[in-house]
Amino acid sequence: MELVALQMTATDHWPTNQATIGRLLAQLPSQRPLLVLLPENAVVFGCRDAVLNNAETLNEGPIQAQFSQWAQEYGIWLVVGSMPTRIANSERFYASCLVYNEQGLQVSHYHKLHLFDVEVADAQGSYRESDTFAPGDELSLIDSPFGRLGLSICYDLRFPQLYSALREGGAEILLVPAAFTRVTGQAHWLPLLQARAIENQCYVVAAGLYGETGARQTWGHSVIIDPWGEIKACLPTGEGLVFSPVDSTQLAAIRRQMPVAQHARLSAVWRK
């Protein structure tokens, strides 16, 4: 069983991104089963008009049909890091992670919980995702041939309580599609990912955008990390694939030898 993170440079033009994804999927290794994670904003990366023009109702539309076709054609579990989906009676959208099984069925989805409204010392300067997107309000776990998958998106990575909840729900593989900025990525990307792997004793698969799109500079460094925090594969720059097998025996051994989930005493109260 192989885990794959796909790294790409995205634009505000879906046909261009579609061609890039198709070219990289054609380079997949032959072994199956295979789980492939695409980055955040793999469908469209740009202004509100680009989002508006490419948003679809969940489980409907030609973009989602393309992902379903790819999953079926290649016989893979395909996780779309995020794409904009419509919200009834709202001018905002969800940033939605979509999961397709090898038959091309959309078997799960997750709407990004934490929105990136921050100031960053880069060419973009100010980020206000909440101007365009609304936050989700549900966690998402899905059983798969690779183990139980816990879904998240980019800025979620800074909120360890989310991953603790996914671990409590049985997560074994944490998926982190992202478009981390170059500034924040250089400072925090790998340390945060390794921390989430170590503290939750899970595999972490993180697929990042790379390169420059307008003023946006993204960090790349797509990576797969094992439950001991060891980096199994990483692609610092450029477009391509990183992959690593899942070792369920190692995961079970780590959890058995150091049962941190059973040792947690979060019911303790503050002394008055």
The residues assigned a catalytic role are 40, 112, 154
Residue pair 44/54 in contact by the 8 Å Cβ criterion: yes
CB burial of residue 209 (10 Å; 0-12, 13-18, 19+): buried
Neighbours of 214 (CB within 10 A): 12
Cα 100 from Cα 35, distance rounded (Å): 10
Neighbours of 181 (CB within 10 A): 24
> 149 by DSSP, 3-state: which?
strand
Cα 230 from Cα 202, distance rounded (Å): 11
Cβ neighbours of residue 42 closer than 8 Å, sequence gap 6 or more:
6, 8, 10, 17, 21, 80, 81, 82, 83, 177, 209
Please state whether the peptide bond connecting residue 33 to the residue before it is cis, i.e. omega within 30 degrees of 0. yes
Cα 257 from Cα 251, distance rounded (Å): 10
